[in-house]
């Protein structure tokens, strides 16, 4: 069964956690003791109704303040599809948490409060969803019950957001009027919005087409681990384990191993359940080669006529996550790209991007917490990269502070930087 990864986004108190709680409740995927605990906690907090947001907001600080801080993941399934939901925070200071939660999503649900309209943080999250390459966007206009399910309010917000989205790279945009508190248009069509002719949110999530979002053209296999059992049964077994990052691999295919450039063919493809005839993203497999080559962790197996860029100069957009540190020209970091690790020097900060106006500040000399900018890097070892918009796995990387070992930056490759 196909798995859909989705993330909620939007400003503070727009109802993201309540929406997920409503989805879990109405699809009957929460246990009785969970519901009883939420009901008891709601009574203790003095709320007039069962606060379904408590199903995802589990931290004490989250419940005390009524906000989301950490990214909460929840799983549920319907007869048509499995879902993994990331409930991301709305506060500006937790923007990096939102980037983390949404980085693997197929669909982003951006919530708007029908009374407040399109806020600064709503635009920020829409831009981040576009930057992260999330192919499908759903704008859920929430709290329609507080504006008496007024169609004019919905149409006004729809037009306002659509004019902003025109500046972004968004391929699929859907608008749905909802009330997460009362369940309107969440699992089934609501009688309170007879003027709305579209589908309910859950039906849309079940039917949205995501199979074409995967890159099945560019064959990419970063080697994660070399398997040598050294046992009597598998005396000469040598396999290369990892997760397929793109394309399709089959036994007998001609392949090349980077960075050595040596060519061979695939002898077999194994999984925990036995051999398979083909492997594609996101399968985790072990590939055996026909020839004994020197292949280790961090190498990449791909097609001879379709190779990634092998480069030490990277042009990228970076979302800075460091609390105390600032990205500066000349600074050194550890860079992790697929299964490969190297050191990277910041060669140039081209500009800092104002997320609210989309204007570029070309006078910026660095990036601070939650800021995004275009940066060129020089690495100590060649990396095998694709553009992020073509492959989200081989086009992404993280920067790690070498002193604290903390992840301080998330990068999206734009291409190969020009050498100076």
How confident is the model over 65-88, as a mean pLDDT?
A: 72
Give just the sign of the alpha carbon dihedral 5, 207, 176, 63.
Answer: negative
Lowest mean pLDDT among 45-49, 331-335, 385-389: 45-49
How far, in Å, CA of 69 to CA of 353, rounded?
24
The b-or-e profile of 1-30 (16+ CB within 10 A means b, else e) is: eeebbbbbbbbbbbbbbbbbbbbbbbeeeb
**What is the residue-wise DSSP string for 194-256?**
TT--S--HHHHHHH---GGGS--SS-EEE--EEE---SSTTTT--EEEEE--BSEE-TT-EEE
The H or E element containing residue 38 is helix 32-45
Give residue-wise pLDDT tens across range 4-29.
998 888 777 767 777 877 787 777 76
Q: Is the pLDDT of residue 65 over 50?
A: no
Say how far apart CA 264 and CA 227 lie, in whole Å.
18
The CATH label, of 2.40.30.10, 3.40.630.30, 1.10.3720.10, 3.90.650.10, for the domain at 220-302 is 2.40.30.10
For domain 3-213, give the CATH number: 3.40.50.300
User: pLDDT averaged over the chain?
Assistant: 85
Which residues, other chains included, contact 163 with Cβ-Cβ below 8 Å and sequence gap of 6+? none
Q: Give mean pLDDT, residues 374-382.
A: 95
| CATH number belonging to the domain at 309-416, selected among 3.40.50.300, 3.40.50.620, 1.10.490.10, 2.40.30.10 | 2.40.30.10
Give the whole-angstrom CA distance, residue 318 versus residue 399: 9
Q: Give the separation between CA 265 and CA 294, rounded to whole angstroms.
A: 14
Tokens standing for residue 303: 């097609």
Number of Cβ atoms within 10 Å of the Cβ of 158: 16
Select the highest-mean-pLDDT range: 2-6, 212-216, 349-353, 368-372: 349-353
pLDDT in tens, 175-193: 999 998 888 999 889 999 9
CA distance to 7, 24, 178, 233, per residue, from 4 (Å): 10, 15, 21, 39
Q: What DSSP string runs through 50-97?
A: --GGGGT--SHHHHHHT---S-EEEEEE-SS-EEEEEE---SGGGHHH
DSSP per residue, 5-23:
EEEEEESTTSSHHHHHHHH
- Structure confidence at residue 58 (pLDDT): 46
Confidence of residue 36 (pLDDT cuts 50, 70, 90): low
Arithmetic mean of pLDDT, 247-266: 95
Reported pTM: 0.83
Contacts of 299 (CB under 8 A, 6+ apart): 222, 223, 257, 258, 259, 260
Distance CA 126, CA 119 (A): 11
| Bridge-based pairing state of the strands 82-87 and 3-10 | parallel
- Residue 168 to residues 134, 189, 215: CA-CA distances in angstroms? 12, 30, 21
Nearest partner of 206 among 188, 183, 228, 221, judged by Cα: 188
* CATH 2.40.30.10 domain position(s) in the chain: 220-302, 309-416
Give dist(CA 131, CA 226) in Å, integer: 34
Q: What are the φ/ψ torsions at residue 388 (nearest 5 degrees)?
A: -60, -40
Strand partners for 226: 240
Q: State the Cα–Cα distance between residues 171 and 135, nearest whole angstrom.
A: 6
- Look at residue 70 and tell me whether its pLDDT is greater than 50: no
56-60, 258-262, 366-370, 379-383: the lowest-pLDDT one: 56-60
**Does residue 333 carry a pLDDT above 50?**
yes
CA end-to-end span of the chain, whole Å? 49
Q: Evaluate if residue 60 carries a pLDDT over 90.
A: no
pLDDT score, position 141: 93
Determine contact, residues 228/211, Cβ cutoff 8 Å.
Answer: no
Helix axis angle, 120-131 relative to 95-102, nearest 10°? 40
């Amino acid at each position: 069964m196909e798995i859909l990864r989705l993330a909620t986004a939007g400003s503070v108190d727009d109802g993201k956690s309540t929406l997920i709680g409503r989805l879990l409740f109405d699809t009957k995927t929460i246990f009785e003791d969970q519901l009883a605990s939420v009901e008891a906690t709601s009574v203790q907090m003095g709320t007039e109704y069962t606060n379904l947001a408590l199903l995802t907001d589990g931290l004490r600080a989250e419940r005390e303040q009524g906000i989301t801080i950490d990214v909460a993941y929840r799983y549920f399934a319907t007869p048509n599809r499995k879902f993994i939901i990331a409930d991301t925070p709305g506060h500006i200071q937790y923007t990096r948490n939102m980037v983390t939660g949404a980085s693997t999503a197929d669909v982003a649900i951006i919530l708007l409060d029908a009374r407040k309209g399109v806020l600064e943080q709503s635009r920020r999250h829409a831009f981040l969803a576009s930057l992260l390459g999330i192919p499908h966007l759903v704008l859920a206009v929430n709290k329609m019950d507080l504006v008496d399910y007024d169609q004019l309010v919905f149409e006004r917000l729809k037009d306002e957001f659509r004019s902003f989205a025109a500046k972004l790279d968004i391929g699929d945009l859907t608008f749905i009027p909802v009330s997460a508190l009362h369940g309107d248009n969440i699992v089934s069509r609501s009688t309170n919005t007879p003027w709305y002719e579209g589908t309910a949110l859950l039906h849309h999530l079940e039917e949205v087409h995501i199979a074409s979002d995967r890159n099945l053209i560019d064959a990419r296999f970063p080697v994660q681990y070399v398997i040598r059992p050294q046992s009597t049964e598998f005396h000469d077994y040598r396999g290369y384990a990892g997760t397929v990052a793109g394309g399709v691999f089959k036994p007998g295919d001609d392949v090349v191993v980077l960075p050595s450039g040596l060519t061979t063919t695939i002898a077999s493809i194994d999984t925990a359940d036995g051999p398979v005839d083909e492997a594609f993203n996101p399968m985790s497999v072990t590939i055996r080669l026909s020839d004994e080559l020197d292949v280790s962790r961090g190498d990449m197996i791909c097609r001879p006529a379709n190779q990634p860029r092998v480069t030490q100069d990277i042009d990228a957009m970076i979302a800075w996550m460091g609390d105390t540190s600032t990205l500066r020209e000349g600074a050194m970091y550890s860079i992790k790209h697929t299964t490969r690790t190297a050191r990277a020097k910041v060669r140039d900060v081209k500009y800092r991007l104002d997320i609210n106006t989309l204007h570029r500040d070309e006078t910026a000399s660095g990036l601070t917490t939650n800021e995004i900018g275009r940066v060129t890097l020089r690495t100590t070892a060649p990396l095998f990269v694709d553009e992020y918009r073509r492959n989200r796995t081989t086009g992404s990387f993280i920067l790690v502070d070498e002193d604290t070992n903390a992840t301080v930056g998330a990068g999206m490759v734009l291409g190969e930087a020009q050498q100076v």
